[in-house]
Amino acid sequence: MLIRSYVHADLARLTELTIETFGPFYEQSFRPLVGEVIFANQHGDWRGDYRRQVAGLHDPGQHKYVAVAEEGDVLAGYVAWSVDPARRNGTVTILAVAAEQRRGSVGTALCEHAFGAMRELDAEVVEIGAGGDDFHAPARALYESLGCVQLPVAVYYREL
């Protein structure tokens, strides 16, 4: 597996992977849980939101970076992170691994790559998030295996 820095030619593939990866969360987990009104208000255009977000993930001038994992010519996954130099904090923004590559070492390798890059930028702490639902259980297990500590948080929605 090769982990390399993002190049602009990756944008379409990373956007597709992001939508494929997180589509089941929005459509099979979040939407049924909160109902149509809250879903539409919070994430009704989740595909468009990702198209806009992924396009802005890599901006080294703003301390934002993306690394891509490839197995041969196949996109295995990617990780996006940012660093706040003044606070010496890093944040993993997105970790997406292709379905056929999950449960291997791709997610671990990408996280370790990002953590190493953050250390080189003098970050002392990293934040990485995942939902508390079943969809995100594998991500939580990965982060815990990397030594991350879960902060219990509850978010509530109510239709008005």
pLDDT given for residue 63 in this prediction: 97
pLDDT given for residue 85 in this prediction: 95
pLDDT given for residue 103 in this prediction: 86
pLDDT values of the chain reduced to their tens digit, one per residue, 160 residues: 999 999 999 999 999 999 999 999 999 999 999 999 999 999 999 999 999 999 999 999 999 999 999 998 899 999 999 999 999 999 999 999 999 989 889 999 999 999 999 999 999 999 999 999 899 999 999 999 999 999 988 889 889 9
Residues facing residue 5 across a β-bridge: 67
Query: Do the Cβ atoms of 111 and 95 come closer than 8 Å?
Result: yes
Domain boundaries along the sequence of the chain: 2-145
pLDDT given for residue 73 in this prediction: 86
Query: Do the Cβ atoms of 127 and 92 come closer than 8 Å?
Result: yes
Query: Is the model's pTM score more than 0.85?
Result: yes
- DSSP codes joined into one string, 65-107: EEEEEEETTEEEEEEEEEEETTTTEEEEEEEEE-GGGTTTTHH
What is the CATH code for 2-145?
Answer: 3.40.630.30
- DSSP codes joined into one string, 40-57: HHHHTTHHHHHHHHHHTS
Distance CA(124)–CA(89), nearest Å, equals: 6
Tokens of 91: 């944040």
